[in-house]
Amino acid sequence: MPKSILVADDDAAMLDVYARLFAGTDYLISKTSSFAEAARLINSHNYDLLITDLMLGDGLGTDLIKLFEAKQAGACLLVSGSIGILAPEQIPIGHLEKPFKAEVFMAVVNMRVAPVNSPDSGGYIIPTSAAA
């Protein structure tokens, strides 16, 4: 069964990048450019993975992650070029910095959605930075 992914990013060009990265894969993606819409989707659907930017026009990706985790919905991945503004304790375990290499991004996505006991899960150890 395909894994379902919610992508939240207020940059239309990045949403297009995500669409291209996931085209032809077994992932089903829902895209949104706003915090409010992402929160609504989290509350009304079940996703295996949330991919969010840090700074959305109407909220913070870290707050979306908290909402997603409170629902115990699945794994999260913060993808941002602004991670440096967060205190170390605020940085989620699963994050990548922009710009990123497509193959690194897809490898991290695959690890995040793999079952915990799967050999592909890598114990959910995610690189703290995989910049290009």
Which pLDDT score is estimated for 110? 93
Q: What's the pLDDT score for residue 131?
A: 40
Q: Which domain holds residue 42?
A: 3-124
Q: Decide: helix, strand or coil at residue 59.
A: strand
Q: Count how many domains the chain has.
A: 1
d(CA 41, CA 25) in angstroms, rounded, equals: 22
- Within a domain: residue 130? no
Residue 132 lies in a domain: no
Residue 119 in this model has a pLDDT that exceeds 80: no
Q: Which helix (H) or strand (E) holds 36?
A: helix 35-44
Pair of tokens at residue 38: 């992402």
Distance (Å, rounded) from C-alpha 76 to C-alpha 79?
A: 10
50: nearest Cα among 1, 99, 92: 92
Is residue 37 in some structural domain? Answer: yes
pLDDT in tens, 4-46: 999 999 999 999 999 999 999 999 999 999 999 999 999 999 9
pLDDT of the residue at 116:
55
| pLDDT beyond 70 at 94 | yes
